[in-house]
């Protein structure tokens, strides 16, 4: 009778373990682990990063760096003196299927550098994989949300330097106009942008941006002090429009 009872207990225990192994990870647990990772960044605590990232992981950050686990963990060091901050995750979505889970979320960073406060927003997608009943990140990809720069100051009297028609190629032109204290650019010749007028916001006296658009518009002066070129700078590469009138 005792042996039978022991056998039943062994069966129940084994069944419980098997059931526990089959239970998929939850979004709440993935979020908890992910927040634990970010809470470890400021003090430079490498332990969670060693624990939750697989030895064969691929980590690609917002700077375009791709690292293996060794380089990733080595990158986790305490922030310098005078620096502090935090990263909190939000807007979480997940897909959990069998032994794989995808967690997609925003990472909202606040940073203080010698009393000056900064913020940044990132979007990150982590892929978790269960191997030997252990869930770890096998791949992570991050990008930083684009944010418009601060609007600078410019004397509207300077707009006269920029007003005119600029040509990229025959039939492809941009006109720069002023309305009161605002400067605008309008493209002609590109079907999807035909008659689309966009406001140019000053970053400096001759460097402008369009809200929600990465890149800059800048004006170049010739040796005579006259603007002869509009430069559309995209990802540090220039498309040059020459002033025709």
pLDDT value of position 93:
98
Rounded Cα gap, residues 114 and 223, in angstroms: 43
Per-residue confidence (pLDDT) for residue 3, from 0 to 100: 58
| pLDDT given at position 193 | 53
pLDDT < 70 positions in the chain: 1-23, 190-195
Residue 5 has a pLDDT of: 52
Sign, CA dihedral 177-179-184-189, equals: negative
What pLDDT is stored for residue 22 in this prediction?
Answer: 59
Measure the CA–CA gap between 47 and 54, rounded to whole angstroms: 13
- What is residue 159's DSSP assignment? G
Query: What residues are paired with 185 via a beta bridge?
Result: 176, 198
Q: What is the pLDDT of residue 245?
A: 84
What domains does the chain contain, in order, with CATH numbers? 25-144 (3.10.450.50), 156-243 (2.40.128.50)
Q: Which of 175, 184, 179 is nearest to 210 (CA)?
A: 184
pLDDT at 108: 97
3-class state of residue 153 by DSSP: coil
Under DSSP, is residue 39 helix (H, G, I), strand (E, B) or coil? helix
| Closest alpha carbon to 41 in 96, 122, 102, 152 | 122
pLDDT computed for residue 190 by the predictor: 62
Predicted local distance difference test score (pLDDT) of residue 20: 45
What sign results for the dihedral spanned by CA atoms 89, 90, 96, 100?
A: negative
Tokens representing 53 are: 């990232």
Task: Give the model's pLDDT for residue 58.
Answer: 98
For the chain, the first-to-last Cα distance in angstroms comes to 104
What is the maximum span of the chain, computed from C-alpha positions, in angstroms?
A: 107
Q: In this predicted structure, what is the pLDDT of residue 2?
A: 53
Q: Which residue has the tokens 């400096």?
A: 204
């Amino acid at each position: 009778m005792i042996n039978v009872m022991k056998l039943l207990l062994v069966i129940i225990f084994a069944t419980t373990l098997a059931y526990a192994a089959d239970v998929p990870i939850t979004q709440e647990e993935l979020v908890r682990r992910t927040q634990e990772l970010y809470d470890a960044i400021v003090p430079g605590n490498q332990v969670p990063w060693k624990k939750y990232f697989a030895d064969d992981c691929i980590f690609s950050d917002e700077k375009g760096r791709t690292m293996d686990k060794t380089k990733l963990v080595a990158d986790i060091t305490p922030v310098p003196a005078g620096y502090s901050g935090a990263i909190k995750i939000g807007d979480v979505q997940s897909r959990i299927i069998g032994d794989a889970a995808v967690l997609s979320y925003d990472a909202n960073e606040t940073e203080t550098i010698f009393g000056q406060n900064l913020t940044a927003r990132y979007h990150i997608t982590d892929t978790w994989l269960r191997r030997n009943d252990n869930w770890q990140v096998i791949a992570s990809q991050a990008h930083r949300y684009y944010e418009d720069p601060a609007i600078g100051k410019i004397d509207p009297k300077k707009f006269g330097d920029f007003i005119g028609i600029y040509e990229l190629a025959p039939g492809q032109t941009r006109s720069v106009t002023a309305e009161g204290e605002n400067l605008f650019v309008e493209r002609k010749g590109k079907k999807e942008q035909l008659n689309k007028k966009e406001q140019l916001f000053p970053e400096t006296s001759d460097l402008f941006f369009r809200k929600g658009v990465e890149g800059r518009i800048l004006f170049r002066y010739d040796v005579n002090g006259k603007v002869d070129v509009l430069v559309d700078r995209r990802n540090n590469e220039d498309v040059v429009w020459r002033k025709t009138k």
